[in-house]
Amino acid sequence: MAKTLVEKLWSRHCVADLGDGTDLLYIDRVLLHERTGSIALKGLAEQGRAVRHPDRAFVCMDHIVDTRPGRGDETLMPGGEAFIRETRAAANAAGIRIFDIGDNRQGIVHVVSPEQGIALPGLTLVCPDSHTCTQGGLGALAWGIGSSEAAHALATQTLVVRRPRQMRVRFEGDLPPGVGAKDMILHLIAAHGAGGGSGYAIEFAGSAVAALSVEARMTLCNMAVEFAAWTGLCAPDAKTIAWVEGRPFAPKGTAWHQALADWADLVSDEDAVFDKEIVVDCAGIAPTITWGTSPQHALPVTGFVPDPAHAADANAAEAQRRALAYMGLEPGQALAGLPIDGAFIGSCTNSRLSDLRAAAAILKGRHVAPGVRAICVPGSGLVKAAAEAEGLHQIFLDAGFEWRESGCSMCFFAGGESFGKGERVVSSTNRNFENRQGPGTRSHLASPVTVAASAIAGRIADARALAAQPVEG
């Protein structure tokens, strides 16, 4: 019988059918970070339960670590260092490898794992972090879980999972110049709502996805969770294989050739049946930016803030009114030209080398507008080093950006650093929720090139006016 890619991955990992659409799935890799992984390890230890395969679990310090140069365990977040130290102690006690502060491989878990070859096509991979779907960009079945489920995965190497419905989103045609993966996913969520993927595993496919770089596919999959999907993924292809080959934890020699043979089948069969299919014509996607407090509140950068009077229903109107009030916007206002206070490039969505290159291409020879605080946080120590080897850091620094150590940084506010109350920030991150980047901070999500162009203009700006070259972020 014809199968989707997800169904193939599912059946490879099915230990037992538990009935009623629920299976016990085998888990190949468990990733942890210091905010939610710490408590999973602590809980297991308290229950006197062992980690079954410590060699298949990995810890990244990313959520709470400071990103200012010269950092140690101390953070600006009150009590933050306790998360770091308790996680380190628990991981060491369990015999789990740590990508720790001071190790140049340290970084955001969803950047580090693919970069190290921990995430690979065909694997099941979980992490108590909602953006684990990022790693689906390599053709892994990767999804976010809670801390209790992480403890379950560590103790049993399995999880009890309900079979998701199957969706395929086909992005067809050529992306217009200046439009990339971030714009694609924001466009999709705006069109179908932040709940549009609820209950589904989504395969991103179509000619435009095939044309994306592997890193851009990770950007696309990263925000599947903002679409309420259980996860997202892309079928691995020759680009994926080339990207994965030679990475530290990727198979080598004979094992590599076995892996290639094993991955050849990781594609949805031609006559596979999906419960739902969405086709997006890429010609209609513009550089996209959010105006409100949900990722579905997204518009072309040339667009105008909606009027709640024209909302679909009373609930939508109320949500829009609330969002407008929080964001300090008026109905009908143009997004382009709105003065900004901050610009942030980083996060598991857009902090890879290709993202930094795309932003640097805009920033080169230019300077951030007066009064704008601009920050770049590379996704890992290795991304940072690679960027520095190309001289990208100098472009960021010359443009007036801060150049940081790796971590999740100001994607969210944990009591440490934030842009201030009422400050308007254009951000390459994934969540524009109320207070996400700090109490009262107004976040506009966009691609790294839109962030860079806006930082220079001091206003929300259309990067196409500055550069007409294709981008991938």
Partner 1 sequence: MEKFIRLTGIAAPLFRANVDTDAIIPSREMKRVSKEGLGEGMFADWRYSDVANRVENPDFVLNRAPFRQAPILLAGANFGCGSSREHAVWALKDYGVRCVIAPSFGAIFQGNCVRNGILPLVLPEHELATLVDAAGPAPLTVDLDGQTVHSADGRTLSFGIAPADREMLLEGLDAIGVTLKRLPAIKEFEGAYRTRHPWMFA
CB of residue 305 vs partner 1: minimum separation in angstroms?
A: 18
| 444 and 463 Cβ atoms separated by less than 8 Å | no
CB of residue 375 vs partner 1: minimum separation in angstroms?
A: 18
State how far the Cα of 93 lies from the Cα of 85, in Å rounded to an integer.
Answer: 12
Pick the closer one to partner 1 by CB: 259 or 372. 259
HSE (side-chain half, CA atoms, 13 Å) at 250: 21
CB of residue 87 vs partner 1: minimum separation in angstroms?
A: 8
Q: Residue 202: count other Cβ atoms within 10 Å of its Cβ.
A: 30
Pick the closer one to partner 1 by CB: 90 or 205. 90
CB of residue 26 vs partner 1: minimum separation in angstroms?
A: 6
State how far the Cα of 369 lies from the Cα of 371, in Å rounded to an integer.
Answer: 6
Pick the closer one to partner 1 by CB: 104 or 198. 198
CB of residue 281 vs partner 1: minimum separation in angstroms?
A: 26
State how far the Cα of 110 lies from the Cα of 315, in Å rounded to an integer.
Answer: 35
**How many angstroms from the chain centroid is the CA of residue 21?**
29
Q: How far is CA 319 from CA 60, 328, 330, in A?
A: 36, 14, 14
**How many angstroms from the chain centroid is the CA of residue 71?**
24
| 145 and 133 Cβ atoms separated by less than 8 Å | no
Residue 346 phi, psi (nearest 5): 170, -165
Contacts of 134 (CB under 8 A, 6+ apart): 110, 114, 142, 218, 219, 221, 222, 348, 349
Pick the closer one to partner 1 by CB: 332 or 439. 439
CB of residue 78 vs partner 1: minimum separation in angstroms?
A: 7
Pick the closer one to partner 1 by CB: 130 or 166. 130
Pick the closer one to partner 1 by CB: 122 or 178. 122
State how far the Cα of 471 lies from the Cα of 175, in Å rounded to an integer.
Answer: 10
CB of residue 98 vs partner 1: minimum separation in angstroms?
A: 16
CB of residue 315 vs partner 1: minimum separation in angstroms?
A: 6
Residue 390 phi, psi (nearest 5): -90, -5
Q: Is 26 helix (H, G, I), strand (E, B) or coil?
A: strand
**How many angstroms from the chain centroid is the CA of residue 82?**
26
Pick the closer one to partner 1 by CB: 38 or 166. 38
Nearest in space to 33 (alpha carbons), one of 101, 108, 95, 102: 108
| 263 and 242 Cβ atoms separated by less than 8 Å | no
Pick the closer one to partner 1 by CB: 157 or 288. 157
Contacts of 364 (CB under 8 A, 6+ apart): 395, 399
State how far the Cα of 351 lies from the Cα of 406, in Å rounded to an integer.
Answer: 9
Pick the closer one to partner 1 by CB: 373 or 436. 436
Pick the closer one to partner 1 by CB: 1 or 314. 314
| 428 and 448 Cβ atoms separated by less than 8 Å | yes
CB of residue 211 vs partner 1: minimum separation in angstroms?
A: 29
CB of residue 48 vs partner 1: minimum separation in angstroms?
A: 11
